[in-house]
Structure 1
Amino acid sequence: MKAYEITVNDKVYQVSVEEIDAASFKSNQQQSPAAAQDKSASQQKPAAPTASSGTTVTAPMPGNIISVNVQAGEAVKAGQVLCVLEAMKMENEIVAPEDGTVSEVTVSKGASVEAGDSLIIL
């Protein structure tokens, strides 16, 4: 088995890949679908709950927060505007990277932030 780290949308996933030969592949194809499903289900780890993923939404650049559109405890959908950051006289909408629940709002209207500062924790 080989272990890899894959980054998708700034989220890091660790995966393991097993190399098999052609004979093993053919024998796996000939198994009944139920047996293959049982085997894969027993190897999978339980998924982490999305509501408490602990995803931190950070400032992409330095600027000032001109509005905060969510509160702690509020459910949000991927792409929903969480807050607006003014940088270089432009308003930048900061959106939710995934569905979840806001666990903490770490900034307020008028706050000055630097690139990488935590804004909201999902």
Structure 2
Amino acid sequence: MKKYVIKLNDKVYEVEMEEVTAESYAAATEAAKAAPKTSAPSTVPVSGGQKIEAPMPGSIVSVSVAVGDTIKKGQLLLVLEAMKMENEIVSPVDGKILSVGVAKGDAVNPGDLLVQIG
């Protein structure tokens, strides 16, 4: 642990940060891969359509769509928690949900297929 003192708007904050090494990151990644998934994806990816992939590693907090749903651009697809922040993943296009590759509680890595829209 490293301690830092930060002054912001005339307030002083003491912050402790844990240094992440390549070994500790690799161990955490392997543990996440080895952990059993809470449920299987609802469908397998199909050819064509717009693929929505995970932009960062994290875990799925909620899935707001199901296969066959018609959606609009900007509509909430799912919530991805990364670094204790909840990130809303929204649709970049209008369309129909062709596949959902994740379920609540799943751990994802960058590039993993989340949803496919046709």
TM-score, normalization by structure 1: 0.57
Query: What CA deviation, in whole Å up to 9, does each residue of 1:23-56 have, x standing for no partner?
Result: xxxxxxxxxxxxxxxxxxxxxxxxxxxxx96100
Does residue 66 of structure 2 align to residue 71 of structure 1? yes
In structure 2, C-alpha distance between the alignment counterparts of 1:88 and 1:116, rounded to whole Å: 17
* 1:94-113 superposed matches below 5 A: 94-113=89-108
Aligned residue pairs total: 71
Structure with more helix by fraction: 1
Q: Secondary structure at the match of 2:86?
A: strand
One-letter amino acid of the counterpart of residue 88, structure 2: E
One-letter amino acid of the counterpart of residue 65, structure 2: V
Does residue 79 of structure 2 align to residue 84 of structure 1? yes
Which sections of structure 1, spanning at least 5 residues, go unmatched? Answer: 1-51
Which sections of structure 2, spanning at least 5 residues, go unmatched? Answer: 1-46
Structure with more strand by fraction: 2
Query: What CA deviation, in whole Å up to 9, does each residue of 1:30-87 have, x standing for no partner?
Result: xxxxxxxxxxxxxxxxxxxxxx961000111000000000000000000001000000
Identity value in percent: 55
Which ranges of 4 or more aligned residues in structure 1 deviate by more than 4 Å? Answer: none
Specify the alignment match of 2:110 in structure 1.
115
Q: Between Structure 1 and Structure 2, whose CA radius of gyration is higher?
A: 1
Specify the alignment match of 2:52 in structure 1.
57
**Pairwise CA RMSD:** 1.3
TM-score, normalization by structure 2: 0.58
